[in-house]
């Protein structure tokens, strides 16, 4: 099953409006709703919880019920995809090419962001129906690599993930990334686990202002 044009268009519109995704990897999330609210206060409206976090589907469900746009990352299996979609995931993210995850997302008419690094893998991700392609780890080749990839793939939304921070996020966007992932620079595991929402908001503001991507 292939994704419908509306699914692809929906995800691309979301990234155009909100080009920063907070990727949360923490040993504990005391309040997923408060976390999403703190990020939004700082200008980050997309949150990706990950399967490396304990009880991730519980956190996702609570945030989704309150209307936050949340997805799940590090999705490796069809079973994980189904669990995430069942509790309200708005999108799925994989670290690599996972055809079975893409199939589950297409069946549910939800966008999937597939991980890739090389030009060949980017092509394979688009053939699998990725609404966007996550280039991971982005630090491996730097912002200029996105400009290079835009040559053969001008219409593929590329997401920079891994090693992106307030100091380089703007350059990734300037060189062709459709969106960037904010990890420990914003949602440091210890800060999330402590429930320091004011600090999360401060970091989110600093990140989005530095890269000129508020909203």
pLDDT for 47 equals 98
Q: What pLDDT score was predicted for residue 62?
A: 97
Q: Which of 48, 79, 100, 147 is catalytic?
A: 48
Give pLDDT, residue 203.
98
pLDDT < 70 regions, the chain: 1, 213-215
Question: 6-49: per-residue pLDDT in tens?
Answer: 888 888 899 999 999 999 999 999 999 999 999 999 999 999 99
Say if residue 142 is exposed, middle or buried (CB neighbours under 10 Å; 0-12, 13-18, 19+): middle
| 82: annotated active-site residue | no
Q: Which CATH number fits domain 5-208: 3.40.50.300, 3.30.365.10, 3.40.50.1470, 3.20.20.70?
A: 3.20.20.70
pLDDT reported for residue 1:
63
Q: Which of 79, 127, 134, 199 is catalytic?
A: 134
- 114-117: list long-range contacts, CB under 8 Å, 24+ apart: 115/161
For the entire predicted model, the pTM comes to: 0.94
Whether 134 is catalytic = yes
Domain chopping of the chain, boundaries:
5-208
């Amino acid at each position: 099953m292939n994704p419908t044009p509306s699914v692809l268009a929906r995800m691309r519109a979301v990234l155009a409006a909100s080009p920063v995704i907070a990727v949360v990897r923490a040993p504990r999330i005391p309040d997923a709703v408060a976390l999403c609210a703190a990020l939004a206060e700082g200008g980050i409206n997309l949150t990706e919880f990950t399967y490396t976090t304990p009880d991730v589907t519980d956190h996702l469900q609570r945030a989704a019920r309150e209307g936050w746009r949340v997805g799940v990352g590090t999705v490796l299996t069809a079973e994980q995809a189904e669990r995430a979609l069942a509790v309200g995931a708005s999108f799925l993210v994989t670290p690599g090419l996972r055809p079975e995850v893409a199939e589950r997302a297409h069946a549910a008419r939800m966008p999937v962001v597939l991980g890739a690094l090389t030009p060949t893998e980017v092509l394979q991700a688009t053939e699998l129906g990725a609404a966007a392609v996550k280039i991971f780890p982005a630090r491996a080749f730097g912002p200029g690599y996105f400009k290079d990839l835009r040559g053969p793939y001008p219409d593929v939304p590329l997401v920079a993930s891994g090693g992106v921070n307030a100091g380089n996020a703007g350059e990734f966007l300037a060189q062709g990334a459709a969106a960037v992932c904010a990890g420990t620079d914003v949602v440091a595991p210890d800060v999330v686990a402590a429930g320091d929402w004011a600090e999360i908001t401060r970091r989110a503001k600093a990140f989005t202002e530095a890269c000129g991507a508020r909203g």
